Structure 1
Amino acid sequence: MNILIWHVHGSWLTSFVQGPHTYLVPVTPDRGPDGLGRARTWTWPQSVRERTPEELRDSDIDLVVLQRPHEIELAHAWTGRRPGQDLPAVYVEHNSPHESAVDTVHPLADRSDIPVVHVTHFNRLMWDNGRAPTDVIEHGIIDPGHLWTGTEPRAAVVVNEPLRRGRTTGTDLLPGFAAAAPLDVFGMGTRQLAARLGLPPELCRTAELPQNELHPAMAQRRVYLHPVRWTSLGLSLLEAMFLGMPVVALGTTEVREAVPPDAGTVSNRPEVLNEALRHFLADIGHARRAGERARAAARARYGVQRFLDDWERLMKEVTR
């Protein structure tokens, strides 16, 4: 099967392209948001092939996987075929509704020809999907291995653009957490974080690492902290669990579904989370045991083969 899909969410797409198909990824001369082409920071198989808009016009395409509303018109303009009508199509919704979960109508809510595939059950519940058919295919993670050592008594946080995203990612909560455990914050746009939050370097270090260095760096930290208020279920949280890290997280969105009680601490009470951070830093054996349970839970639910099998089922239904 030839699948047209844009390079939008690199971590998610890295798992998706492990399937048995050919993946046509648009590329433009500027490699802008609509034409990034093949990944440069993830390892993708040769079955992922770049196609210019001109090449897509004559390409055999069996399915288009949409991820942003404007891709519907973009696919029509570039291929000459209309998703959902001339081409089988599905729409992957990566995000929770940004505004009110009560009043936010999904962009495809008035269509019945393009199924909306949510990445969590929470997301499907919170969006007003209208008459669009819906499904849920939970994340699949390529196992990085049990890399956790916990040798550094610090908490790892992974978040991109924490200053711009602010309360969404719990950036305002970091000073309170830093009082319980020194933080190492990884992600793009983190360089000015400590200064903007008024935290000394020993309590808040930051690093923008390439993907192949991120997991080993995370695994050296004693515990993973997930301070996010309102996003979809973060892949970095699941990756931390695969690494064998114990988890301390806000109990928002899908987190309680993903993190079992014996794999860490999930709460919406900062004082409870702070006490958990202190306990993990003080007792490496406790951290190890919780991390092992986190890894077992993540492997059981979020393995990449289950993810690919779920997608195979759905794609057969859509294209038959």
Structure 2
Amino acid sequence: MNILLWHVHGSWTTAFVQGPHRYLVPVLPGRGPDGRGRARTFSWPESVTEITPEGLRDAPVDLVVLQRPHEAGLAERWLGGRRPGRDVPAVYLEHNAPDGNVPETRHPCAGRDDLTLVHVTHFNRLFWDSGPTPTAVIEHGVVDPAHLYTGQLARAAVVVNEPVRRGRYTGTDLLPALSEAAPLDVFGMGTEGLAEHLGLPPGRCHAQDLPQAALHPAMARRRLYLHPVRWTSLGLSLLEAMHLGMPVVALATTEAVEAVPAGAGVLSTRPEVLARAAHAYLHDPDAAAEDGARARRAALDRYGLKRFLDDWERLIEEVAR
């Protein structure tokens, strides 16, 4: 089967393209947001094929996976007038939790009967107003990075992109107090100048953007994973940390309360509780390793790659038949 999708979310797409199909990924000169082509920092199989808009015009496409509202129009133009959902089977994959007036936020696909709206978490499906549009939930899957945890560095790993710009969404304002309990290593894009922005010395908060191949080993050397995010979908970095064997200290918000079971870490809506938990893990490496091992088992069970691909295969067969 030929599946057209845009390279929007590198970690999610890395799991999705491990399936048994041929994946057509648009590429444009300059590799901007609508034509990134194949990933350069993730390992993708040869079944992922770059294709230009001109190449798509007559290309056989069996399913379109839409991920952003404007992609339906792009697909129709690039597919020579074939309309996703009408002329070509389609699903719309929603990565994000709703924003704005959340209880009343209506999804861009609400009211459509020609496609299936797929959410990555049950929280997202609950909070989006999708109207009568058919919906499904396929929870994340993660390509297992292996149990790399050593916890040799008495520091907390935080993975977040653009923490200065996103501010309260990512819990950036909570980092100064949390850094008093455990020094922080913040990984992600747009983290430059974070310590200065927060008024923290580098020893308490060090930020860097690592290539994907170096990120997981770096995370696994830290004693714990800290997830201070207030409002997001379920961050894949949290699930990757659990796969690595890291204990988790996280705000009990959005889908995190479902993803992190008892014994795999500490969840709370009170930052002071998170600070105490981080401090405790910092000074008890054995407890950190034990809870991290439980976190890994839980992640493999619920967010393993096989379950993820099996769920998608069932939906693809249903939608494309």
TM-score, normalised to structure 2, is 0.99
- Contiguous gaps of at least 5 residues in structure 1: none
Rounded to whole Å, the distance in 2 between the matches of 1:76 and 1:30 is 22
CA shift for structure 1 position 197: 0.3
Equivalent position SS for 2:226: strand
1:33 aligns with 2:44: no
Rounded to whole Å, the distance in 2 between the matches of 1:97 and 1:12 is 19
1:130 aligns with 2:139: no
Equivalent position SS for 2:250: strand
CA shift for structure 1 position 100: 2.4
1:150 is matched with: 151
Q: How many residues align?
A: 320
1:314 is matched with: 315
2:235 is matched with: 234
2:71 is matched with: 71
Letter in 1 for 2:37: G
1:161 is matched with: 162
Letter in 1 for 2:299: A
Percent of matched pairs sharing the same residue: 68
Q: Which stretches of structure 1, 4 residues or longer, exceed 4 Å deviation after superposition?
A: none
1:96 is matched with: 97
Question: Which structure 2 residues correspond to residues 1-320 of structure 1 after superposition, within 5 A?
Answer: 1-80=1-80, 81-320=82-321
Rounded to whole Å, the distance in 2 between the matches of 1:229 and 1:48 is 34
Letter in 1 for 2:254: T
Equivalent position SS for 2:28: coil
Rounded to whole Å, the distance in 1 between the matches of 2:295 and 2:126 is 25
Rounded to whole Å, the distance in 2 between the matches of 1:54 and 1:13 is 23
CA shift for structure 1 position 131: 1.5
- Contiguous gaps of at least 5 residues in structure 2: none
Equivalent position SS for 1:202: coil
CA shift for structure 1 position 298: 0.3
CA shift for structure 1 position 118: 0.1
Rounded to whole Å, the distance in 1 between the matches of 2:100 and 2:239 is 25
Rounded to whole Å, the distance in 2 between the matches of 1:170 and 1:250 is 9
Rounded to whole Å, the distance in 1 between the matches of 2:313 and 2:99 is 29
CA shift for structure 1 position 192: 0.6
**Residues 273-299 of structure 1: per-residue CA shift (max 9 Å, x gap):** 111001000000000000000000000
**Residues 86-120 of structure 1: per-residue CA shift (max 9 Å, x gap):** 00000000000011221100000021111100000
TM-score, normalised to structure 1, is 0.99
